[in-house]
């Protein structure tokens, strides 16, 4: 069993202390994905061997990341880690919790209550935290555009205070990768039209502004190693820049853990363009087990060194010296493996 597991259990069984020692001006502004399930060493028998196997689909070692008070306390404490504070989270498992109430036009029910409690806690215990409802249908039809009205309805009808509202909607749709080199430009423009619908639906909220966020891969504007510009909405640019235009913020999946590749891929994804247009931009780093090994910090056999939380933070600390001083890091994802406590190199931040 991992060395810090006893400490993990004692903290989980007691009263959680929220780490609020830093002032707003001193806080970092990281982003973090919070998918529905994450590794959970509190489950009996779930040790480092299970962690390294990482069978997230079938193993009992993966539990919901925010559906209990204890799990949410773990999340808020992670957001408040001194010097590594998180200011935006993309929270999954929202669609099925909002859908029944939306169609019944009823704010009653345990799922709506859970959302109100979660949002209130997050906004109360994490300074200036933006909480986005995360949708990831990831289809060419961009079905996420039909989910945004659920959030608009919830914010306008089910919340008693602004602290119970979502600050934005985030979309993680990977379908563009399959059409980025299509000779049929209408496939690409139609995809962008549907992304624009995400933004347009968000603007229908009557009480306050609902922010929009999108995740892009660094190579989506490229085909065969060359820029692939096309006309859409009166501009001829590559897809990455069109996507930057649509949304309030983006995160770029750079697919690498070292410089100079990180910086090079950010440039290809439209870093200068997003900066000129004052769009908040994040570099997304993967920590979960995936292939090829150079795209993740997961501690697996790899020809590249540096597969720990300390190495992740070291890369983030190199942003300024590599021309990314105005860019923010995004960690993918909470308890997968970041703050999981499933490995000595990946402690749980409680």
pLDDT, one tens digit per residue, over 289-304 is 998 888 999 987 677 7
Provide the CATH number for the domain around residue 139.
Answer: 3.20.20
In a domain, 224, yes or no: yes
- The residues that bridge with 329 in the sheet, in sequence order, are 283
Query: What is the domain count for the chain?
Result: 1
CB 290 within 8 A of CB 298: yes
The CB-side HSE value for 46 (13 A sphere, CA atoms) comes to 24
pLDDT digits (tens, 9 = 90+) for 72-111: 999 999 999 999 999 999 999 999 999 999 999 999 999 9
> Quick check: is 20 in a domain?
no
Which residue, among 59, 19, 21, 25, has the nearest Cα to 289 in the 3D structure? 59
Of the candidates 13, 19, 133, which has an alpha carbon nearest to the alpha carbon of residue 83?
19
Give, for 230, the enclosing helix (H) or strand (E): strand 230-232
Asked if residue 270 lies in contact with residue 240, where contact means CB atoms within 8 angstroms, the answer is yes
User: Residue 294 is part of which domain span?
Assistant: 38-332
| Chain segment 108-149, per-residue pLDDT in tens | 999 999 999 999 999 999 999 999 999 999 999 999 999 999
* Whole-number pLDDT of residue 25: 59
Instruction: Report if residue 215 sits inside a domain.
Output: yes
Residue 101 is assigned to a structural domain of this protein = yes
Per-residue confidence (pLDDT) for residue 4, from 0 to 100? 39
Tell me if 96 is assigned to some domain.
Answer: yes
Q: Is the peptide bond before 337 cis (omega within 30 degrees of 0)?
A: yes
Phi-psi map region of 104: left, alpha, beta (phi>0 left; psi -120 to 50 alpha): alpha
User: Do the domain assignments include residue 248?
Assistant: yes
| Residue 345 in domain | no
Torsion-angle region of 184 (φ positive above 0: left; ψ -120 to 50: alpha; else: beta):
beta
DSSP string, 30-74: EEEEE-SEEE-TTSTT--HHHHHH--TTT-TTEEESSSSHHHHHH
Residue, of 158 and 6, whose pLDDT is higher? 158
- Residue 316 is assigned to a structural domain of this protein: yes
- Paired residues of 343 in beta bridges: 346
């Amino acid at each position: 069993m991992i060395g810090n597991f006893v400490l993990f259990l004692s903290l989980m069984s007691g009263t959680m202390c929220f780490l609020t020692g830093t002032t707003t001006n001193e806080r970092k502004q990281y982003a973090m994905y919070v998918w529905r399930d994450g590794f959970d060493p509190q489950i009996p028998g779930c040790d480092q061997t299970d962690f390294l196997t990482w069978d997230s689909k079938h193993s009992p070692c993966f539990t919901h990341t925010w559906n209990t008070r204890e799990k949410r306390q773990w999340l808020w404490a992670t957001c408040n880690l001194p010097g590594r504070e998180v200011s935006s989270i993309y929270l999954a498992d929202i669609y099925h919790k909002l859908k029944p109430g939306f169609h019944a036009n009823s704010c009653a029910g345990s799922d709506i209550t859970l959302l109100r409690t979660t949002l209130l806690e997050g906004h109360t215990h994490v300074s200036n935290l933006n909480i986005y409802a995360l949708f990831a249908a990831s289809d060419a039809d961009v079905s996420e555009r039909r989910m945004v009205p659920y959030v608009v309805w919830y914010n306008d009808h089910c919340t008693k205070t602004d602290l119970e509202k979502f600050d934005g909607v985030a979309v993680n749709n990977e379908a563009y990768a399959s059409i980025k080199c299509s000779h049929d430009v209408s496939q690409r423009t139609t995809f962008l039209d549907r992304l624009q619908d995400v933004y347009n639906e968000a603007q229908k909220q009557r009480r306050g502004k609902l922010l929009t966020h999108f995740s892009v891969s660094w190579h989506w504007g490229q085909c065969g190693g060359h820029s692939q510009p096309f006309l859409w909405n009166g501009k001829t640019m590559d897809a990455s820049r069109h996507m930057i235009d649509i949304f309030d913020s983006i995160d770029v999946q750079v697919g690498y853990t070292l410089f100079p590749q990180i910086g090079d891929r950010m440039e290809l994804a439209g870093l200068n363009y997003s900066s000129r247009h004052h769009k908040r931009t994040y570099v997304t780093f993967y920590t979960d087990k995936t292939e090829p090994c150079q795209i993740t910090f997961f501690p697996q056999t790899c020809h590249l060194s540096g597969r720990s939380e300390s190495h992740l933070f070291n890369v983030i600390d190199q942003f300024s010296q590599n021309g990314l001083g105005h860019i923010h890091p995004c960690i993918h994802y909470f308890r997968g493996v970041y703050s999981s406590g499933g490995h000595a190199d990946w402690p749980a931040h409680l």
